[in-house]
Structure 1
């Protein structure tokens, strides 16, 4: 783990414990940190906190005040933090189920959401259960029991449905007209690679590692290769070709789910 991120996570947990006391029963690094794919300057720090029971509104706001970037500077692009009750984390539910969500950082718009019903549907409600599935496999415990014990995985049908919803969400985003390189298209392609590898092989990989696995099998070598290179500073692929690849992956997910 990056030393700056390690120190940040330690301070974050100390501050969370100051607010939550014994209600805090677990803290886990997720996303690129958990998957050992953290890329300074590009990656976020993803954190899941687990609490014993539902939090009151003032406690949620106090937690946000102590952890937002202005109070605890984030060494990455941003912090994406989600708090779950212990029973939700262990349930395998496909629902969002969070107590509070905080997005904050030097290159990330601030957002604090205090209930799933307040999450705009247009922003996607599939992220949370997919993140908990990744935590079940690859979460890094900073506090509490191993992530595989704290977080249940999704049922296969729920997993495939949420992955399809995520791909449909990506496909609905606007892209520049024409075939010119489209910033962010590399993440769209590699996110689709990750979904495909998870469904085919049963394992979560980082976006880039999922792309490399498909490259090794000879799948869409040119497009995936350029998408991986774009994460190191190369030009991203064009929007139309990225969307065409996403549609092919979505079709495979939907076809498998119909069987």
Structure 2
């Protein structure tokens, strides 16, 4: 962990402890920080808080006010923070179940949601349980009990269903046609690799490691085209040219089909 990120997380936890007091059960770094794959200048900072009880709306609003980028500058592209009650975090539920969600930073749009009803269904409600599954395996404890105790994993059927929902969500996003490099397409490819590896091998890996693991498997998804696509996606994470949107979507469709899920029709928008 680099020094600016370490200082930021230390200050963030101190703000949360000051505001929530004994109601703060634990705080955890998730996402790329938890998985040991944080890239300064590229990665977001993902943090999950666990509180003892349901948050009062005024307290939730104050938490947002004190943690937003304008009050506590984030050294990364942005902060994605989610707050869960202890009983939700420990339940293994596939439901979103969050108290507060905050997106804030110099490189992302501000958003504050006070419960799942505030979150548009079109933005995806599957992320939260999948994130808690990653936290159970690899959350980095900033305060409180170990992440593996604070968060329960999903049941296998729920995990498979939510991964399928995530892939279909990606596929429903419109992409420009044509062979034009599409920034962000590399994350779509490597995210699909990570989903495949989790269901095949039972472990969440960072995106780049998941891409390499899928290629090493040499299974039915690996041919010359997909090998080139995955390798190009890995290179794009460090400045290389990203793949095209249509090629990324086709790979996601192959992963979804390999999982035995229905594959939706392709979506496009005019160039």
TM range (shorter): over 0.9
Contact residue 49 and residue 83 of structure 2 kept, 8 A: yes
Contact residue 50 and residue 84 of structure 1 kept, 8 A: yes
Corresponding residue of 1:113: 113
Corresponding residue of 1:250: 256
1:113-150 deviations in whole A, cap 9, x for unaligned? 00111100010000000000000000000000100000
1:30-73 deviations in whole A, cap 9, x for unaligned? 00000000001110000000000000100000000010000000
Corresponding residue of 2:268: none
Aligned pairs for 1:211-250 (under 5 A) are: 211-218=211-218, 219=222, 220-250=226-256
Count how many residue pairs are aligned between Structure 1 and Structure 2. Answer: 256
Q: CA–CA distance in 1 between the matches of 2:117 and 2:253? A: 29
Q: CA–CA distance in 1 between the matches of 2:23 and 2:54? A: 9
Q: CA–CA distance in 2 between the matches of 1:216 and 1:251? A: 20
TM-score normalised over the length of structure 2:
0.93
1:75-99 deviations in whole A, cap 9, x for unaligned? 0000000000000000000000000
Corresponding residue of 2:145: 145
1:171-227 deviations in whole A, cap 9, x for unaligned? 111212212111211110000000000000000001111001112234231110000
Structure 2 residue ranges without an equivalent (≥5):
263-271
Q: CA–CA distance in 1 between the matches of 2:97 and 2:192? A: 25
Q: Secondary structure at the match of 1:109?
A: coil
Structure 1 residue ranges without an equivalent (≥5):
none
Corresponding residue of 2:32: 32
Corresponding residue of 2:79: 79
Q: Secondary structure at the match of 1:47?
A: strand
Q: Secondary structure at the match of 2:128?
A: helix
Q: Secondary structure at the match of 2:259?
A: helix
Contact residue 164 and residue 261 of structure 2 kept, 8 A: no
Contact residue 190 and residue 208 of structure 1 kept, 8 A: yes
Q: CA–CA distance in 1 between the matches of 2:29 and 2:183? A: 27
Corresponding residue of 1:191: 191
Contact residue 32 and residue 43 of structure 1 kept, 8 A: yes
Q: CA–CA distance in 1 between the matches of 2:236 and 2:217? A: 20
TM-score normalised over the length of structure 1:
0.97
What is the CA-CA distance between 1:254 and the residue it aligns to? 2.8
Of the structure 1 ranges 30-39 and 179-188, higher mean CA displacement relative to structure 2 is found in 179-188
Moved over 6 A (4+): none
